[in-house]
């Protein structure tokens, strides 16, 4: 029998409370157990203020839990680390650097050889569909293009896990659909493990292999669902989830959990 692979991420009895009396008696995250494996695309949905970003910040290492442990490949997460790339809702690009310089920034700081940096940037520009825009500056880019640069910047260190906090919520519907396609491609072709927060239940169902829900009636806890819609979409170009009864049924079920 092949050895069972250790989880990529493992949360054990994690509790996160902030410094208010209310938060101490009702922690935002309450004795949470969760594991995520390589190659998974996990989405998190839930009502506003339920703790989605807090959960992502804990996994990123921006926050250290009040109690419990968070491990990545069996090592306690003690702070941010380049094995976990983060993409935020608003692209955080350096306005004075071009697309390729923004992508190269992290590698330059690590003082990697120039030819290695150039090659890595070239591969990523191709992967996120920014060919022809390498020399442009952020003010010359659309919202979707800026978010492509952010994704490339997060991926330039070849992170084991890409963490995304509502990455497409500021984009228009068409751009959002294109970006969802890009993300599905990165997950499918690059086997990139992804943990994404979204407000959009359809987006969660169409992109992820597992959806975590903070239900309205059980704050601090998570419900988990496994879905295969994203695999169907990736494998069959004729599959249309919007006309699939099963898809609509599950969408309603998730809506009922959080509303
Ligand atoms: N650093 C902090 N200090 C104190 N309270 C915080 C801190 N970070 C988050 N909170 C509180 O924790 C709760 C959960 O916040 P969080 O941002 O995780 O929610 P969310 O589900 O991501 O919300 P939204 O969907 O609106 O972005 C909120 O009540 C918020 O005010």
Is 174 inside any structural domain? no
Is 238 inside any structural domain? yes
CATH code of the domain in which 45 resides: 3.40.50
Is 155 inside any structural domain? no
- Span 215-254, pLDDT tens digits: 888 777 899 999 999 989 988 989 999 899 999 999 999 9
Atom of ligand 1 nearest to the CA of 54: 18
- Span 72-120, pLDDT tens digits: 999 999 999 999 999 998 888 999 999 999 999 999 998 999 999 999 9
Euclidean distance between CA atoms 203 and 43, whole angstroms: 9
Is 144 inside any structural domain? no
Is 19 inside any structural domain? yes
pTM for this structure? 0.93
For 231, the domain range is 1-80+209-259
Is 5 inside any structural domain? yes
What is the count of structural domains for the chain? Answer: 1
Name the pLDDT band for 18 (thresholds 50, 70, 90): confident
What is the 17 CA–ligand 1 centroid distance (Å)? 10
- Span 124-135, pLDDT tens digits: 999 899 999 999
- Span 20-73, pLDDT tens digits: 655 567 788 999 999 999 999 999 999 998 899 999 999 999 999 999 999 999
Q: To test the ligand 1 pocket, which listed residue (14, 15, 16, 18) has its Cβ within 8 A of the most ligand atoms?
A: 18
Is 160 inside any structural domain? no
Is 9 inside any structural domain? yes
Identify the pLDDT of residue 140: 96
ipTM computed for the complex: 0.96
């Amino acid at each position: 029998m092949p050895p069972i692979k250790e989880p990529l991420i493992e949360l054990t009895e994690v509790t996160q409370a902030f410094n208010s009396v209310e938060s101490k008696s009702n922690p935002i995250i309450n004795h949470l157990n969760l594991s995520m494996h390589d190659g998974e695309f996990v989405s998190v949905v839930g009502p506003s203020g339920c703790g989605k970003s807090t959960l992502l910040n804990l996994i990123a290492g921006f926050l250290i839990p009040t109690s419990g442990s968070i491990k990545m490949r069996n090592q306690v997460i003690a702070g941010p680390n380049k094995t976990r790339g983060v993409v935020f809702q608003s692209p955080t690009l350096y306005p004075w650097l071009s697309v390729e310089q923004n992508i190269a920034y992290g590698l330059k700081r690590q003082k990697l050889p120039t030819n290695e940096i150039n090659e890595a940037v070239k591969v990523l520009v191709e992967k996120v569909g920014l060919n022809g825009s390498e020399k442009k500056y952020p003010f010359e880019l659309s919202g979707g293009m800026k978010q492509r640069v952010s994704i490339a910047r997060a991926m330039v260190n070849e992170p084991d896990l890409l963490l995304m906090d509502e990455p497409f919520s500021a984009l228009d519907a068409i751009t959002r659909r294109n970006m969802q396609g890009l993300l599905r491609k990165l997950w499918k072709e690059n086997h990139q493990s992804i943990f994404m927060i979204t407000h959009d239940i359809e987006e969660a169902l169409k992109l992820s292999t597992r959806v975590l829900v903070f239900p309205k009636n059980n704050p601090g806890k998570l419900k988990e669902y496994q879905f295969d819609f994203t695999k169907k979409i990736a494998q069959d170009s004729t599959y249309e989830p919007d006309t699939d009864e099963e898809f609509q049924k599950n969408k309603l079920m998730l809506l009922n959990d959080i509303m």
